[in-house]
Amino acid sequence: MRPSTRAVHAGRPPHEPDQPFNAPITMASTYVAGGDLEYGRYANPTWTAFEEALGALEGGRCLAFASGLAAVSTILDLVGQGQKVVAPRHAYSGSVMQLGDLESRGRIKAHLVDISDTEAVVAACADASLVWIESPTNPAMEVADVPAITAAAHEAGAYVVVDNTFATPVRQQPLDWDVDLVVHSATKYIGGHSDLLMGAVLTRDDQLYDVLKGRRDLVGAIPGAFEAWLALRGLRTLPLRVERAEANAQELVRRLRARADLTEVRYPGFGGMISVVLSSGEAADLFQHSTELWVYATSLGGVESTLERRRRWKSEAPTIPEGLVRLSVGIEDVEDLWDDLSAALDRSSTG
Ligand SMILES: *Cc1c(COP(=O)(O)O)cnc(C)c1O
């Protein structure tokens, strides 16, 4: 089956008389003993339905988490005492903050790299225990050579993780490039409606799956049944939403690149995320407050278009330009999106 068919059909109850079409929301802290489920921190049939569906899209076994950062933290917890983690200096700021926190407590050594500089990344892999990749990066939009980095990391005996939040399995399935783990903020495109937080980890390695499942059981970084049900409902339309957001983004990029008042338009060629760089932080502030349809808000990947100057966050990398505004393109009509965006740019450029 092809991806959009899998997105619709995976993780459903069996096609039998009286079975519901959709997995029910199982609200349970405990189960009658003697079976496989036992307790609500270990298992929930609504998570399982979500995990089967996302697993079918990424091509691996899936574990659902309470948030993207709960999934990131569970993976980083596997790194041995004092071991080295290679990661993009422009990875999602929360992931970089977790690495900094672990390093400041003497738990790991973090080596931050420009993930698009393959030669430098490959050199850094030599004595690494874990290589963290995000591609494209949020919000710098750098793209990594995942197969080349993975080969070098494996030669050094390191595990490789790809944060696939921006590309989604609709555009990129990193497990096919032999990476060990894929991580998602399902809060973004997978949920897709800005109404939940969730994370996920995927792998084809049964041993890694068992270790991560064991950590999740022990730490309790689990999603609620309702969140899992909503995320699964979102996943059904993931390919449709990504295709529409991408078509909108490609048209907007064409028009944005024709404007003289933007220093840079960063777009990796696929997906619904664009970063534009304005002449200054002040111009970018004015821009983010000047739209009417586009919502000034953090986060991304919803059906509605949003924008945000990233350096308004103290936690954002200082190498991200002050004037960079991240655009999350939604599924609205592209002409309405352009009318609002270009009018806001006109207002912020003329002061
Ligand atoms: C948002 C985000 C995360 C963190 O996910 P949460 O669900 O907010 O915890 C991780 N990686 C990327 C690329 C993100 O955009």
Instruction: Report the nearest-CA residue for atom 7 of ligand 1.
Output: 68
Pocket of ligand 1, candidates 161, 165, 194: which has the most ligand atoms within 8 Å of its Cβ, to mutate? 165
Q: Among this protein's residues, is 296 annotated catalytic?
A: no
Residue 217 CA to ligand 1 centre (angstroms): 21
3-state secondary structure of 117: coil
116 touches ligand 1 (CB under 6 Å)? no
Q: What is the pLDDT of residue 113?
A: 98
The residues of the chain scoring below 70 in pLDDT are 350-351
185 touches ligand 1 (CB under 6 Å)? yes
Alpha carbon distance 135, 120 (integer Å): 16
For the chain, percent of residues with pLDDT exceeding 90 = 99
187 touches ligand 1 (CB under 6 Å)? yes
138 touches ligand 1 (CB under 6 Å)? yes
Q: Among this protein's residues, is 188 annotated catalytic?
A: yes
Instruction: Report the nearest-CA residue for atom 2 of ligand 1.
Output: 185
C-alpha torsion 190→192→195→196, nearest 10: 10
Q: What is the pLDDT of residue 16?
A: 96
Which residue from 5, 2, 51 is spatially nearest to 216, judged by alpha carbons? 51
Tens of pLDDT, residue by residue over 301-320, are: 999 999 999 999 999 999 99
Q: What is the pLDDT of residue 350?
A: 66
**How many C-beta atoms surround the C-beta of residue 318 within 10 A?**
8
Alpha carbon distance 226, 59 (integer Å): 24
Alpha helices in the chain (DSSP H): 3-9, 45-58, 68-76, 93-104, 118-125, 146-155, 168-171, 206-219, 225-235, 238-257, 281-288, 334-349
Instruction: Report the nearest-CA residue for atom 4 of ligand 1.
Output: 68
For residue 57, give Cα distances in angstroms to 2, 44, 105, 318. 9, 20, 37, 35
- The pTM of this model reads 0.98
Q: How buried is 349 (Cβ within 10 angstroms: 0-12 exposed, 13-18 middle, 19+ buried)?
A: middle
Instruction: List own/partner pairs for 212-215 with CB under 8 A and 24 or more apart.
Output: 212/63, 212/74, 212/75, 212/78, 213/63, 215/74, 215/77, 215/78
252 touches ligand 1 (CB under 6 Å)? no
Tens of pLDDT, residue by residue over 186-233, are: 999 999 999 999 999 999 999 999 999 999 999 999 999 999 999 999
For residue 169, give Cα distances in angstroms to 12, 47, 62, 214. 19, 19, 13, 25
Q: Considering Cα of 136, then 140, then 141, then 146, what sign does the dihedral take?
A: negative
Task: Give residue for tokens 């609200």.
Answer: 27
Alpha carbon distance 329, 271 (integer Å): 9
Radius of gyration of the chain (CA): 21
